[in-house]
Structures are given as C-alpha cells and as structure tokens.
A = this chain, B = another copy of it.
Amino acid sequence: MSTAEETAGGETSAWGEVTPDAARRLLIAAVEAFAERGYHATTTRDIAGRAGMSPAALYIHYKTKEELLHRISRIGHEKALEILQTAARREGGPAERLADAVSSFVRWHAGGRTTARVVQYELDSLGPDARAEILALRRQCDAEVRGIIEDGVAAGDFDVLDVKGTTLAVLSLCIDVARWFNVDGPWTPDEVGSLYADLVLRMVGAK
C-alpha cells in the first residue's frame, strides 16, 4: 500500500489551511451537513448550530451559503488532483502508477466520504462562475489519469480500445465510491482501494 495521500487522522483533517478557527469550524460543520442532507436541504441555522454559534455568526466569515460550498469544493478538488498527480509522477511503470492512483483516489473517496460526497455530488448547486472554476480542476484530474493510460498503451503494457472512454470509466468508478461507501459496511477504505486497483488494471488489459 502506497502513500500518495497522507492517511487521514479523521474526516476533519486537511482543513488546516482554513483560518481563523471559527471559520474552520463552520466549514467542517457545513461539510457534514451538506453530506448528510444535500446543499439545498441544509439551512444556515443548521450549519451555525453544528459549529456552536448563532446563525448570524456565519456571515462574519462567509458572504453567503454558496461561498461555503465553493470553498469546500475547491479545497476538495485540489486535494483530489494532488493525489492523482503524486501517483502519476512517481517512479515505476504505468501499471504501478495506475494502481497507485486508483487505490489512493478510492481510499480518499471512501475514507473521506463525507467530504468527497459534497465535492463530487453538489457541484450543480454552485453558480456558473464557481462551477466553471471547479470544472477546470476536474479536467486536470482527467488529464492525469489519461496520461498514465496513454503511457501504458505507448509502452505496450496496456491494451485499450478507447483511451478517452476508459479514462472516464475509471474515474467514474472511483468517484461513485463516495455514493455507496459505508463506514459500517464490510470493507475498509484500504480494501476497496486494493480491489479497485485490481479491477482497473483488468479494464486496461495490463499484462
């Protein structure tokens, strides 16, 4: 098992860059609420309540409810991209790099399911500008994975009919983990990561 992402010490890690403390607590509260109920079904009163503050306190640190979602989405996507870049740029053959990328990416979606859910499924609730910014990050994620697969095909290590379609399917498979993964279920994030790395190597016809 590799370490393309630091093993999270809990769902609330990785928000260290958010200051001051009250702003971070509000952001974490928003992630939990959005993941549980969805963006539109979450009230600003609920977010503030989870952070132990009055409804009005939210507006000292964030201009609107949507700004919270935007910040969460950007930080989350940057993290996802970083995970894929680290795996794509490590030493080793295409098969090792792809397996590392998939298992790391899946581990992040499973272990940080709360965050990943918001990041991957609440995109449509953003306004056009914020949405466009996030979509650019997604295209970069796509490019990282496609790069590994193209390397594998060029090296003769992979046997792929449709590189673009297979890339999309691989990412889709990983992302959907955030929808179904259950912490109380039969698998650990590591186990799903290993299983998925194996499945993806089969999908690309790795030798």
Contact = CB atoms under 8 A, between A and B. Distances in A.
B125 A38 contact: yes
Contacts of A40: 38, 40-41
Contact of A177 (B172, B179, B195): B172
Contact of A195 (B124, B125, B162, B205): B162
Contacts of A195: 161-162, 165-166, 169
A161 B197 CA distance: 12
A166 B125 CA distance: 32
B180 A172 contact: yes
Interface string A194-207: 01101100110100
Interface of A: 37-38, 40-41, 121, 124-125, 161-162, 164-166, 168-169, 172-173, 175-177, 179-180, 186-187, 192, 195-196, 198-199, 202-203, 205
9 contacts: A37-B124, A38-B38, A38-B40, A121-B121, A172-B173, A172-B180, A176-B179, A202-B202, A202-B203
